[in-house]
Each structure stands twice: as structure tokens, then as C-alpha cells.
Copies of this chain bind each other. A is one copy, B any other.
Amino acid sequence: MNQTIETILSHRSIRKFKNETLDQKTVETLVKCAQAASTSSYQQVYSIIGVEDSEMKKKLAVLAGGQDYVAENGYFFVFCLDYHRHMLSSVMTGADITATVQSMEGFIVGTADAALAAQNMAVAAESLGLGIVYIGGIRNNIQEVSDLLKCPDHVVPLFGLAVGVPAANPGTKPRLPMNAVFHHNTYKSDDELKNELQRYEQETAAYYAERTDGKRTAGWVSHMMAAMEVPKRTFMKDFLNKKGLNKK
């Protein structure tokens, strides 16, 4: 085990940060780390918007569903899928790349590129003793977020990443048993998975019971199923199509 692996394995999301702004050098290091990630066919289909303006951050916190730590942190980054640079490039060379940009495949590439870059930044930040939390909640009001950040067509804010000096130290959260996530050569049987899910339900029920003085006794399975019965952000497809993406 080395320091990097130790950093990775001790990840927990931080939702309370000290009032200490990241200095410019640290921000640049984090962005460089993000840019060093692999990218599909060298396309680099993402942008990072660093939001420092405190009024904008407050607005984003509301739009993300009232999460204070979107406004109160050391720095707030928004990771976007971005084909706008490619569209500008196509004007420069006269190429027609519309079919690529509009495709479902192109959307997968951009989402993956943005996530790979973001996770590099997350690990780099944690290696510096900083804490992080991803904010999928910026998709709650994606049109308003996109307008606020002045994202042109073919640019979609996918998630935020709040970074800062931790002001709380929650423990790591138990992940699914490795045997429920890792398959050998072929995808495993339902019977095996069901056993793992039952085991995990008990493990997480005990985890929550301990942390809530017995008030919460539902485990991962019960909790996820209740949450997933209500579909979220059902406007996403329309929004993406309007942005010129994910059409076919």
C-alpha cells in the first residue's frame, strides 16, 4: 500500500468545509491533474468552470436543492460535457461533425471524459489533505444552471465538485461487497447476487442503526428502492436535445 492507494481508500465525501479559499496555485494544480486524465480518442470533450463569485455560488446552492456546501467551500468546480470547442474547430476547417456531436455515442464519450477528469481532480485534492463532494444536484435545475454559467449549445453542466479544507470528519461508507460488483470472465448468477444483496442490506442496516442511535434501520436495498421509485430529472432528454446532443 502506498500513499496514493491510502488516499483513494480513505475517501469520504465532505459536506462541511472551513472558510478557507484555495489559493490560485492549488486551483491550477487541480485543473492540470484533471487535464492529465485519459480522454476518448484524444477528444477532450469536457470543460471545467471554476465558480468563485459568491453571489453565483449562492444561486448555485439554491438551484442544487439547497446544499449549503455548494456556496461554502474552498472552491467550486463545475464539470461540463463540451463539444463547443469542436464546433468552433469545425468552422475553422470546414468539417461537418454534427452527426458525431449529436450521437448517443458522443454523449457517452463526453460524460466519461468529464468524469475521468473530475476523479483525477478529486484524488489530487484528497492527496493534499483537502476534502471533496460531488454535486449531481446541479442537474436539478439544469437549464437555470446552464444559463447562469452562460454555457453555449453543446455544453452541458454534468456535476459540481466542491473542494475545501474539511470541517468534519465522517467515516467511509460501506460499499457493495466486492463479490457483488466484481465478476470473473462473465457476469455472475442472480442467485449469487441476491445473496450478496441480502448480506449488504444487513451490513448497511447495522451501519445506519449505529449512526442514528437505532432510529434508522433500513439498509441499502430498502433505502435505494424507496428512493428510486420516484424518477429524477425527467426533463434531461429534452434539455440535451435542445443543447444539440444525444439526439440519435
Contact = CB atoms under 8 A, between A and B. Distances in A.
B108 A229 contact: no
Contacts of A47: 181-183, 187
B225 A136 contact: no
A173 B35 CA distance: 11
A212 interface: no
Nearest to A113: B115
Interface stretch (A15-23, A38-46, A66-74, A163-171): A38-46
Interface string A118-138: 111011100110001110100
Contacts of A224: 42-43, 86, 89
A46 to B, nearest CB: 7
B37 A9 contact: no
A202 interface: no
Contact of A190 (B3, B88, B90, B101): B88
Contacts of A1: 29
A50 interface: yes
Interface string A194-236: 1001100000000000000000000011101111111111101
Contacts of A51: 185
Given A115-B112, A194-B92, A44 B176 contact: yes
Q: How many copies of this chain?
A: 2
Q: Chain A contact residues: over half helix, strand or loop, or mixed?
A: helix
B90 A225 contact: yes
B31 A9 contact: no
B194 A88 contact: yes
Interface in A46-63: 46-53, 56
B194 A99 contact: no
Interface string A140-178: 000000001111100100110000000000001101101
A118 B5 CA distance: 14
For the complex of A and B, 8 pairs with smallest distance between CB atoms: A115-B115, A4-B127, A95-B225, A119-B119, A99-B231, A150-B186, A97-B228, A105-B233
Given A8-B33, A93-B222, 11 more contacts: A4-B127, A8-B120, A42-B220, A46-B181, A50-B182, A52-B184, A92-B198, A100-B230, A101-B228, A105-B232, A116-B118
